[in-house]
Amino acid sequence: NAGVTQTPKFRILKIGQSMTLQCAQDMNHNYMYWYRQDPGMGLKLIYYSVGAGITDKGEVPNGYNVSRSTTEDFPLRLELAAPSQTSVYFCASSWDSSNQPQHFGDGTRLSIL
Amino acid sequence: DAKTTQPPSMDCAEGRAANLPCNHSTISGNEYVYWYRQIHSQGPQYIIHGLKNNETNEMASLIITEDRKSSTLILPHATLRDTAVYYCIVRSSISTGNQFYFGTGTSLTVIP
């Protein structure tokens, strides 16, 4: 039962570098989400997708891009890393947009130095 | 989505029931109450959710008041592994983006 798998678990980037955070789910969920969590704070939604080929902005999308070419994968791209993007990133998925809960991965801890 | 209010921290003796309160006085008719927890900055773990009836599963019970303005998550026999931050979230079944708004939650410490 893999659920939601995120890679890498940890990463250190230099300012201005780019990277892609990977997220995959094996539950055939239509909806997928990216959140960030800063120290001592709750989660904030970055982007979400309601199905392959469809994405939309969440609460804090600036500095990030996403794509959804398959149902299983939802990568998050940082183009020009900034210190403000130091955070823990969580990917989640759910069956639909009604009352179904979201299931989360274990996160990627990203530091920008 | 309605906002929630939770105490920032609570303690509970191991083996006793942990009762975590949540106030959601502005909840609307189509909003569900969800509980998640987060252990050591792992990914949030879904616990339980409900609309207006009390709910129980293998992890916990959810008690929602009749006016739906507050709820209580009950862990019947708390163990040390239940030490975590617990989030109470209310979300509409028709919410745009299906976002879960996580606040700062209640930090529960189970004491041996």
A32 interfacial to chain B (CB closer than 8 Å)? no
Residue B97 scores a pLDDT above 60:
no
Q: Which residues are B11's β-sheet partners? A: B109
DSSP string, B37-90: EESTT---EEEEEESSS-EE-SS-EEEE-TTSSEEEEEETT--GGG-EEEEEEE
Separation CA B64–CA A59 (nearest Å):
29
A43 interfacial to chain B (CB closer than 8 Å)? yes
Mean pLDDT of A93-108: 87
Whole-number average pLDDT of chain A: 93
Q: Which residues are B12's β-sheet partners? A: B110
CB pairs under 8 A between A and B: 61
Mean pLDDT of A82-111: 91
Residue A2 scores a pLDDT above 80:
no
Q: First vs last Cα of chain A: how many Å apart?
A: 35
Residue of higher predicted confidence among B53 and A22: A22
A97 — pLDDT class (breaks 50, 70, 90): low
Mean pLDDT of A83-105: 90
Separation CA A17–CA A91 (nearest Å):
21
| Sheet strands (E) in A1-113 | 4-7, 10-13, 19-25, 31-37, 43-51, 54-57, 64-66, 76-78, 87-94, 103-104, 108-112
Read off the pLDDT of residues B5-55 as tens digits, 9 standing for 90 and up: 999 999 999 999 999 999 999 888 888 999 999 998 789 999 999 999 899
β-pairing, B9-13 vs B106-111, is: parallel
Nearest to B34 among A98, A101, A103 (CB): A101
Whole-number average pLDDT of chain B: 90
Q: Considering chain A, what percentage of its residues have pLDDT values greater than 90?
A: 81
